[in-house]
Structure 1
Amino acid sequence: MRSPARTLLFAAGAAGTGSLFTAGTLGLPGFGGALHPYADRAVHQAVLRGTPNVVSSVNFDQRAFDTVGEELILLSAAVATVALLRVVRREAEDDGAAHRHGPAEVSDALRIVGYLLLPLTLLVGVYIVAHGQQSPGGGFQGGVVLGTAIHLLYLAGDYPALQRLRPIPVFESAEAAAAAAFVLVVLAAAGTAATGRVPALNAAVGTEVGCALVLLLGKFFEQALLVRERPAGEHSAGERRRAGGPREPS
């Protein structure tokens, strides 16, 4: 698609989005007023349907299809990041030089803290996901905790152990499977109360969010820690300048 066509397509989409957003904003009740129609209806529906808490009722019952959209947006972001950074890494490796992943340079105190917090943080993440139907926590929050907890091994300076703990292909498959499971559960239970399916939905959301964060952080770490090993006899531009040798053409 040529540049003018892309510009026109973006302008049409932006105009439509802006119009809908403006219309929705103008239809809201006055700020600070006593009328809260959505809040009153959401609480009433949560109590009527028997969902243990209002947050879970809103996420998985009253606006379950919106939550599906959020899941697919996160899935698309992770897939796009993985695809883009794979291309960047392939281009970096095509120069013929050897590459390796360098270790994280951290202090002994930070390394100890990373090792100690890893199992505790993973336990907290599982707890938040498992008890999402009983508290305002749930799959999104617990998935973020789980996805970032694994990378405490990076703070511990043990990148090879981090690579073994989170094989990228496994997490790619798990993220896709969790997103598909969430969609299937929502479609299968459409029109019914969310009471019995909140734990399954929380588990699917937690798995998908956690895997997406692992993929995103893992790919960024791969790029940040990728070290180019120059062949013997090859020197960098800075080394050549210090040695008084010829500079690279600008």
Structure 2
Amino acid sequence: MNPRARGALFGVGAVGLGLSLLAAVRGLPAMDQGHSAYGDAVNATTVPLRQTVNAVAAVTFDYRGFDTLGEEFILFAAVMGVTLLLRERRTEEDSGLRGGMRVGAEPPGTTDALRVWTLAQVAPGLLLGLYVVVHGHLSPGGGFQGGVVLAGAAALVFLAGASWRTRRLNPMALLDGLEGLGVAGFAGVGLLGMLLAGQEFLRNVLPLGTRGELPSAGQVPLLNGFVGLAVSAGIILILAELLDQTLVDRRKGDA
């Protein structure tokens, strides 16, 4: 498919999506008029039964935690599919390239201004991402949102060109392991209810603590942490693989 056809296809999809979103927004109820029986039940039970002030976190990681585990496996499968395809393509296209870099080749240059500005944002990005993950049961946020922010901090490192100066900044094996650990950790927490109390899978059996405090809501903070680990590692892995493939294509074009 040529670029013009891809652009036309994207335009049709974008217009359809925009119209659908507009229709959905116009159909939203007015402020304080959108109450439902489900929403009222969640609001009435999250604080006394789960000691969390974030009803969304209680629903996502407690009431329907099994669905969230399925969503995490979907992300895991998508990341693995992308990485396997890109690695296989690089292996087939050019055996003289290693890790996205031709042996002995120099990486593309990056201006000092861009490098300083982007690297200066890495620490605040990491701090914000960790805050969003850790406080997911106390305020809007959680593992999915915080994981994306953490991956954004890594993207700034890639943008600064630092990843091409030292491959230690994106160790593929470590990222593979961290994403797997995030998914396995979520499932492992779910087994606690079965092993400790003979309850069903993902039963919240840990101490609930006191609402509004960091150690509260039982296993919800743990699940948030494992989701944040899986999401951040998965997105960083995709970014690293895409950047490596970009370097492969660029080197082939310059050859």
Question: Where on the TM-score scale, by shorter chain, does this alignment land: which range?
Answer: 0.7 to 0.9
In the TM superposition, what are the counterparts of 1:1-250 in structure 2 within 5 Å? 32=29, 36-49=36-49, 50-94=51-95, 100=102, 103-161=107-165, 163-189=167-193, 190-192=202-204, 195-226=217-248, 227-228=250-251
Supply the AA of the counterpart residue of 1:47.
V
Supply the AA of the counterpart residue of 1:176.
G
Structure number with larger C-alpha Rg: 1
Tell me if structure 1 keeps the 8 A contact 2:163–2:170.
Answer: no
Question: Partners of 1:162 and 1:146 in 2: how far apart?
Answer: 20
Question: Partners of 1:174 and 1:154 in 2: how far apart?
Answer: 19
Question: Partners of 1:172 and 1:97 in 2: how far apart?
Answer: 21
Name whichever of 65-74 and 124-133 sits farther off. Answer: 124-133
Flag the 1:162–1:116 CA change in 2: closer, same or farther, 3 A. Answer: farther
Tell me if structure 1 keeps the 8 A contact 2:163–2:169.
Answer: no
Shift of 1:102: 5.7
Supply the AA of the counterpart residue of 2:147.
G
Deviation track 1:76-114 (CA, whole Å, cap 9, x = no partner) reads 0111111111111011114x6895276344433221111
Question: Partners of 1:58 and 1:159 in 2: how far apart?
Answer: 38
Flag the 1:97–1:89 CA change in 2: closer, same or farther, 3 A. Answer: closer
Tell me if structure 2 keeps the 8 A contact 1:81–1:216.
Answer: yes
Shift of 1:70: 0.8
Q: Percent identity?
A: 38
Consecutive unaligned residues in structure 1, runs of 5 or more: 1-29, 237-250
Q: When the two structures are superposed, what TM-score results if normalisation uses the length of structure 2?
A: 0.71
Question: Partners of 1:159 and 1:220 in 2: how far apart?
Answer: 13
Root mean square deviation of aligned Cα: 2.6
